[in-house]
Structure 1
Amino acid sequence: MDLLGTQEMPTTWRCGRFLFDLTKRKRPIVMGILNATPDSFSDGGRFRSVQDAIAQAERMIADGVDLIDIGGESTRPGAEPVSLQEELDRVLPVIDGLRDYGVPLSIDTYKAETMRQALRAGVDCVNDIWALRQEGTVEAVLESANCGIVLMHMQRDPLTMQFNPEYQNVMVEVMHFLQERANLLLNRGVSHDRIALDPGFGFGKSLEHNLEMLSKFDVFSKAGYPVLAGISRKSMLGKITGKEADQRLSPSIAAAILAADRGAKIIRVHDVSETIDALKLWEAL
């Protein structure tokens, strides 16, 4: 499968105040999910208060998390958007409470002003499900000289993305989209080693599309960027196992190992301790 040729993978991923050496480490970067929301699909409402969110972050840090991804708006299928002010009220106090813990912080948002304020508050990475397609978002990340940037593929929007998603070839279409978004940033002066890609499991994909992307996950690395796998507790695992979101630990770990085996450099998860333990065994082999 020829997808724009094979590009050389960077040796590092720059993430704000931090620099991940991708050649020395064997296991992927583990990005822990911290949802400061009342309605996220798996853990909505559990860490809604600042104190609860910081306590959860402290647990993840103790478990060995490499990067914490803070979100103030649910992007589950069918999710309604929240106002800018509500999102800022949810995430900025959490960022303020965590920025001196010595662990990289990411902001999970598609709003330009949230990106700006989060970067000024001390986050090291912007993780955008819209891949910086919303107005002003490219300019927002350009204000930072070294923040990490995760570009994700999504078909349509969270309200409609799971209404009969269709592709002629999901691998080719997702790969081309991500490469085009990365090229836009390169042309605006963003250094290659700041960019990571996310094919967007569950964001405008059927179960068959998701399984094809996981089985051929190594193809995405040919674009020449670190690739993130975000499969933790997602509905594709529920469709396979018949389990509810909070009962999908086992298939989430299995998916993380399969993605790592196929070249994932970043694994985004809810269950940090269990995932790291599984990856330690994978790394030992």
Structure 2
Amino acid sequence: MGIVNVTPDSFSDGGLYASPEAALAHARQLVAEGADVIDVGGESTRPGALPVDAATERARVVPVIEALRAETDLPISVDTTKAEVAAAALAVGADMVNDVSAGRFDDAMLPLVAERDAAIVLMHMRGVPATMQDAPIYGDVVAEVAAFLAARAEAARTAGVAAERIWVDPGIGFGKHREHNLALLAGLERLVALGYPVVVGASRKGFLGSLTGASLDERLAPSLAAAVLAAAAGARALRVHDVAATRAALAIANAVARAGRADG
């Protein structure tokens, strides 16, 4: 899942693709690199980020999604918590809603997804982006995240979303400290056991820099390590900035795994 941030303030690439033209060019590059899904977002959800209004967010993402749909049959996801933005994106060709609030911030979101027969990614997050890193506390973070995702998936199904349209995301870096993120990656199989496809977005996240001392621009290698580990644990989608490098790393890991099975 290749990331296209049409924002001035995303933590990794804010401002690089803030115009529709730049965002579309970046999306084309991700498609060329082998992305299976393009995820387009118009509101930063980095720690400390403040919300933007629906009209601004809609103006950022809709032209990009509409133009991209005219060029590719690949699935397109809109990264939003607002039903109004999701509706506009779905109307011009998006297939999926990636909601970091798991449908909690807008009561109209889950019914909309059901009505449009769209897919949805339900993500775990403590609080809101502006305050989510303010001393998050967990007992068993994997168990708590699993329970939350199971409950939100049930809420989506109750709203009419088909089970096969539901994806879940543990929300690496969203209201979690380094130890929480590591525990979630280590315990990912417990989330896979919920029975919904799991999305993992660890690309360039702060905990990778905390572990390695790598600056934001130096986090490719740790991002690839996290991606390979997540895929090995059963993640079905990896939300990444560096599509080509991630595909190459996964190709090696998959080849080794196949060789091991053949020898067995």
Under a length normalisation based on structure 1, what TM-score does the superposition of the two structures give? 0.87
Structure 1 unaligned regions, length at least 5 = 1-30
The answer as to 2:54 corresponding to 1:84 is yes
Rounded Cα–Cα distance in structure 1 between residues aligned with 2:154 and 2:112: 17
CA RMSD of aligned residues (A): 0.9
CA contact 2:80–2:99 (8 Å) conserved in 1: yes
Rounded Cα–Cα distance in structure 1 between residues aligned with 2:77 and 2:160: 21
Q: 2:158 aligns with which of 181, 187, 191?
A: 187
Rounded Cα–Cα distance in structure 2 between residues aligned with 1:245 and 1:72: 21
Rounded Cα–Cα distance in structure 2 between residues aligned with 1:140 and 1:110: 12
Deviation at 1:54, TM superposition (A): 1.0
Count of residues in Structure 1 that have an aligned counterpart in Structure 2: 254
Q: 1:262 aligns with which of 214, 222, 233?
A: 233
Deviation at 1:83, TM superposition (A): 1.1
Identity percentage over the alignment?
50
Q: Aligned residue for 1:252?
A: 223
Q: Aligned residue for 2:91?
A: 120
Matches within 5 A, 1:122-137: 122-135=93-106, 136-137=108-109
Structure 2 unaligned regions, length at least 5 = 257-264
Matches within 5 A, 1:265-280: 265-280=236-251
Rounded Cα–Cα distance in structure 2 between residues aligned with 1:104 and 1:273: 18
Q: Aligned residue for 2:114?
A: 142
Rounded Cα–Cα distance in structure 1 between residues aligned with 2:128 and 2:194: 24
CA contact 2:113–2:161 (8 Å) conserved in 1: no
Q: Aligned residue for 2:64?
A: 94
DSSP 3-state at the match of 2:116: coil
Q: Is the strand fraction higher in 1 or 2?
A: 1
DSSP 3-state at the match of 2:74: coil
Under a length normalisation based on structure 2, what TM-score does the superposition of the two structures give? 0.94
Q: Aligned residue for 1:219?
A: 190
CA contact 1:196–1:225 (8 Å) conserved in 2: yes
Letter of the 1:126 counterpart:
V
Rounded Cα–Cα distance in structure 2 between residues aligned with 1:202 and 1:281: 27
Rounded Cα–Cα distance in structure 2 between residues aligned with 1:183 and 1:126: 17
Please identify runs of 4+ aligned residues in structure 1 that moved more than 2 A: none
Q: Aligned residue for 2:260?
A: none
CA contact 2:37–2:75 (8 Å) conserved in 1: yes
Letter of the 1:140 counterpart:
L
Q: Is the helix fraction higher in 1 or 2?
A: 2
Letter of the 1:197 counterpart:
V
